[in-house]
Amino acid sequence: MGTPSIIANPNFDPRAIADQLRRAMKGIGCDKEMVSQTLVACNNAQRQEVVRVFKQMHGKDLIRELKSELHGDFEDLIVAMTERPAMYDADQLHRAMKGCGTKEHVLIEIMTTRTNSQIHEIKLAYRKKHHADLEKDIVDDTSGYFRRLLISLCSGARDEQMHTDRTLAQQDAHKLWRAGEARLGTDEIAFNSILAAQNFGQLLLVFDEYQKQHGHSIEKAIRSEFSGDICTAHLALVKSIRNRPAYFAELLYKSMKGLGTRDNDLIRLVVTRSEIDMADIRTAYQKMYGKSLEAAIADDCSGAYKRGLIAIVKGNYQVHPTHFNSLRQATHMQKFNASPPSQRLPPLIVAALVLFCTLHVPVNAAGKEGGGGSAFNKLSIGIVIALCVLLVACIVLVVSICKKSDSDEEAEQEPDPEKGEAPSTQAELMEPAPAEEDIEKEKPVEMEQPLISVKAEEEKPEEVKEEPQTTSVKPEEPTQSSKSNIATGEKSETAGEEKGSEASSSSAASSSSAGSSSSGSGSGSGSASGSSASSATSSEASSSASSSAASSASSS
């Protein structure tokens, strides 16, 4: 078994898909992208369920509706996807044989690569749709040994078991040699009896034994013994048995080779192999021709037809757009909401103008026919409605602008670290959380930090209190007014220092008490030193005040 590109949709909803297809074909024109994407999301069995549900819901045949809405190669592609495989093969065989001439390559491709059950289904579908027998039409349109080979394949009697026999393969290889290269002329019946009857595994052994016994491949023997359509059919059998993906990759290459494209062959190959081995064919095509199958299709096709073929080749592994229309509408709404408010107003204004025009045209017609009084009332109503729509549009615009400005202001606000707010920048949010070992290592540092700050605060008042002593010890004979000003300034400075020392001592005491129970003695010594420092500053302040009072009395 190969690897398909189209698989069953696990979220399959036939009613939803039928509604999507109905909306795609509603109105003027047809949404080709929606049709192709919706059908690619399902396999053929699910598409047949959609056809049944579509007829039940809307009372119309889906395939006929698609044919009436589409045209050209894209129509052929969509119809090929919606028809049953047996019915599609029957149509292809009928088209290959009707009219003047016969497309033998179509007969060879279908008849040499289908299983017994598929061939029987094709014969039934052919009789049901075209009211004819497939074997009879083959007999009427072909001749010679090519006709005999096709009739043998059309019987659907090939051995499909997995059993192989090396001894039998050696005997069959010798029979083929005696029927061809070992004699004058060729015994075509011997080739047909082996190539059209035995299972593929046994035929691979026959080909290998022929190579060992005679030193060259069976393909070389066929080319030397046959010609024309019978040679092409035998080579197609051998190639499809040896490497089926490579065989179909070659057929795809030939359908796009040279000037023009055989679009019917390209569509048939892509659609019929999509649920069997298309992924393997893609790989073989890339390996054989050094170019991807999608790129080859893109070079030879265009438009929705090209995109539909490429979608089938790529497959529906990753996404199944069951609700393709709703997804597309959601995408449009996201784009509209993401656009700035200044870009949202023009569509609303256009909608209001369209509404006004739709009301204004019939009003003028009515006014010309009869009087114009009622027409004027209708015109005024239309103008009022249009103005209301414009008013609503303006309100929506203003509200959206306000919301956007509020969101911008909130985004610009920086977090307050003192209040414990979380950082808002993406770099800070993306920082990894610290490990538990790092947290445990940092805990002792956080415990010792308050003690260091207390000692630093204890040393600060001692450095500050030396400054007023130097300024008060050596005055430079100031006047009476300046002396009084100096005295008042020193009083204010000493009072400020007292307040600062008291605040520092209280903060040191609170921080030391919050540290730990084991550091209680250290915090007690810190508070004692803070109280002694405050008493020292108060005594020095009183001594400086008394000295200034004595100096002022002596001067007086």
Domains of the chain: 14-84 (1.10.220.10), 160-242 (1.10.220.10)
| Residues counted in the chain | 556
* Mean pLDDT calculated for residue range 489-517: 44
Cα dihedral sign, 488-490-493-495: negative
- The span from the CA of 366 to the CA of 374, in Å, is 8
Report whether 34 contacts 66 (CB < 8 A).
Answer: no
pLDDT of res. 264: 96
* Residue-by-residue DSSP string for 15-38: HHHHHHHHHHHSSSS--HHHHHHH
Each residue's pLDDT tens digit, 51-110: 999 999 999 999 999 999 999 999 999 999 999 999 999 999 999 999 888 999 999 999
Q: What percent of the chain has pLDDT over 90?
A: 52
Q: What is the largest CA-CA distance in the chain?
A: 157
What's at 329, amino acid-wise? Q
Question: What six digits make up the tokens of 553?
Answer: 């009395």
Check pLDDT > 70 for residue 539: no
Neighbours of 392 (CB within 10 A): 12
Each residue's pLDDT tens digit, 257-315: 988 899 999 999 999 999 999 999 999 999 999 999 999 999 999 999 999 999 999 99
Angle at the Cα of 507 from the Cα atoms of 501 and 509, rounded to 5 degrees: 100
Supply the pTM of this predicted model. Answer: 0.60
Check pLDDT > 70 for residue 4: yes
- The span from the CA of 173 to the CA of 194, in Å, is 10
3-state secondary structure 276-299: CCHHHHHHHHHHHHCCCHHHHHHH
Cα dist from 367 to 359, 373, 386, whole Å:
12, 7, 19
Report whether 36 contacts 68 (CB < 8 A).
Answer: no
Report whether 190 contacts 175 (CB < 8 A).
Answer: yes
Cα dist from 224 to 170, 185, 189, 227, 537, whole Å:
21, 11, 17, 8, 123
Neighbours of 284 (CB within 10 A): 21
Cα dihedral sign, 112-118-123-129: negative
* Residue-by-residue DSSP string for 342-398: HHHHHHHHHHHHHHHHHHHHHHHHHHHHS-SHHHHHHHHHHHHHHHHHHHHHHHHHH
Helices marked H in 98-165 — which ranges?
A: 104-113, 116-130, 134-141, 144-154
Q: Of 149-158, 200-209, 330-339, 362-371, which gets the smallest average pLDDT?
A: 330-339
Check pLDDT > 50 for residue 546: no
Residue with tokens 């993401």: 338
Q: Is 321 helix (H, G, I), strand (E, B) or coil?
A: coil
Residue 28 confidence class, pLDDT cut points 50, 70, 90: confident
Report whether 108 contacts 100 (CB < 8 A).
Answer: no
Neighbours of 46 (CB within 10 A): 18
* Mean pLDDT calculated for residue range 21-28: 89
